[in-house]
């Protein structure tokens, strides 16, 4: 599955166009390698996302083409979530 579609279906990012933009700006890593929006993701991959001053690391547990809101969080496990606060 494409990275941008996974981010949207899993509801990590609400819109696919925003997911594509974030990935193409180099803010998403798959297994510590920079990834574009069209990169393929698979079960077991570790995604690192940088949103402004927040870094989110998740592991992909399931890949589903469509999900209900309740099932979306079963697609991944949050490994860490940190706020990068600069003083």
Percentage of residues in the chain having pLDDT higher than 70: 97
How many structural domains does the chain have?
1
Q: What range defines the domain where residue 70 resides?
A: 3-83
pTM for the full model? 0.88
Residue-wise pLDDT for 37-67, tens only, equals 999 999 999 999 998 889 999 999 999 999 9
Label each residue of 45-62 as H, E or C. CEEEEEECCEEEEEEECC
List the CATH number of the domain containing 36.
3.10.290.10
7: helix, coil or strand?
A: helix
pLDDT per residue as tens digits for the range 68-84: 988 899 999 999 999 87
Element housing 28 (H / E): strand 28-30
Could you tell me the CA-to-CA distances from 76 to 41, 61, 65 in Å, in that order? Answer: 12, 5, 14
Q: Are 37 and 3 in contact (CB under 8 A)?
A: yes
């Amino acid at each position: 599955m494409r990275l941008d579609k996974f981010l949207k279906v899993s509801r990590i990012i609400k819109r696919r166009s925003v997911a594509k933009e974030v990935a193409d700006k180099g803010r998403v890593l798959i297994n510590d390698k920079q990834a574009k929006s069209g990169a393929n993701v698979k079960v077991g991959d570790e995604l690192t996302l940088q949103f402004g001053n927040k870094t989110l690391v998740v592991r992909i547990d399931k890949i589903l083409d469509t999900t209900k809101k309740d099932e979306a969080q079963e697609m991944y496990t949050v490994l860490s979530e940190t706020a990068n606060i600069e003083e």
